[in-house]
Amino acid sequence: MAKARRSIQFVGGGDEETALLRLLLRQGRSRLEAQWRLDDEGGEPDLVVVDPSTLSGDAAITQARQAGRPFVCVVDTGTPDSGDWQLRRPLKLDAVVRVFNALTPSQEPAPGS
């Protein structure tokens, strides 16, 4: 069965962190349950990854909550647990795979399968 395609919007992350996330998504492709890609085109993402310490990241959390869209906060090591999904800096492949797979909706089998 082909993996579902899912889009990610990274809000508030710097260029280096965005490049690292893109690299980790490529490295983890075989372990991820969906085909995740960063979407810079401004469409409706399936997942929002945010740096909550930035103004744009904080606003994105509010928008994601209002839209009922899942989000993941990228936070510094030592940041208290907020109860939201979090990835700690520096981003690590195992953590990205674990969190993204947990947030991947299960695929329903096609009727009659």
In a domain, 77, yes or no: yes
In a domain, 110, yes or no: no
Position 5 scores a pLDDT of 95
Tens-place pLDDT, residues 7-49 = 999 999 999 999 999 999 999 999 999 999 999 777 899 999 9
Q: Contact 53/60 with Cβ under 8 angstroms?
A: no
Report which of 22, 34, 17 is spatially closest to residue 74, judged by C-alpha positions.
Answer: 17
- State whether residue 2 is helix, strand or coil: coil
Residue 67: CB atoms within 10 Å? 12
Alpha helices (runs of H) in the chain, residue ranges in sequence order: 15-27, 55-67, 93-102
Q: What is the CATH number of the domain that holds 55?
A: 3.40.50.2300
Tally of domains in the chain? 1
The domain in which residue 44 lies consists of 5-102
Global confidence as pTM: 0.90
In a domain, 91, yes or no: yes
Alpha carbon separation from 29 to 34, 86, 106 (Å, rounded)? 8, 20, 17
